[in-house]
Structure 1
């Protein structure tokens, strides 16, 4: 039923010469953070200025949000995530617009820093 409604709506809009604007996610405007891990901890460095909001997505899919006063984040890896991949990105306000980073990746390591 929903598919039929969408097809009919698209057909009517096409007949009227109208188009539908589709929202797209914001493009990253800052580079991905540099991250490394060791001793069950991790360190990430951004190119942000001022307050930085970090989003860390663990292998399980759970998400942690951290706010730092500057461009670095230092935190511990949950024991359930040791040896597993992590994704991280950040955002900050540059005075006129919120800047969003590409996604960085690292593995939570219990051994030497890498």
Structure 2
């Protein structure tokens, strides 16, 4: 019985991405708001000052962008058009680095949504 409970607990944690050995950064900042259109995207963060963006493209590659403020405006690569993209950000609040949650949006070649 005890082994069954342990297996179920490990399975549940693994499904949540919290399995032993994995130490995900806790998100202190909310996920960014992002929208896309005309093969471009715009993301807005709840950050102060310099913001470092992590964009995970459909191919799995990661783009890193640094902006002076809380917004990012960039082009979608052709390989990501019509596919989901994930975005998150981090910033230094004066004493610690804050990490955001992740949001997902679709890189669109058509109208802005």
TM-score norm. by structure 2 comes to 0.80
Determine if contact 2:87/2:103 at 8 Å carries over to the other structure.
yes
Matched, 1:36 2:73: no
| Mapped partners of 1:71, 1:65: distance in 2 | 14
Larger radius of gyration: 1
Query: Can you give the 5+ residue segments of structure 1 that lack an aligned partner in the other structure?
Result: 1-20
> 5 Å matches for 1:7-22?
none
CA RMSD after TM alignment: 1.4
Are 2:48 and 1:49 equivalent residues in the alignment?
yes
What is the aligned partner in structure 2 of residue 84 from structure 1? 83
Number of residue-to-residue matches in the alignment: 94
Equivalent position of 2:110 in the other structure: 111
TM-aligned CA distance change 1:113 to 1:94, over 3 Å: same
Name the counterpart of 2:6: none
Q: Whole-Å Cα distance in 2 between the matches of residues 41 and 23 of structure 1? A: 33
Q: What is the SS of the residue equivalent to 2:27?
A: coil
TM-score by length of 1: 0.79
Could you list the structure 1 runs, at least 4 aligned residues long, displaced by more than 4 angstroms after superposition. Answer: none
Look up the SS of the partner of 2:79 in the other structure.
Answer: helix
Shift of 1:40: 0.2
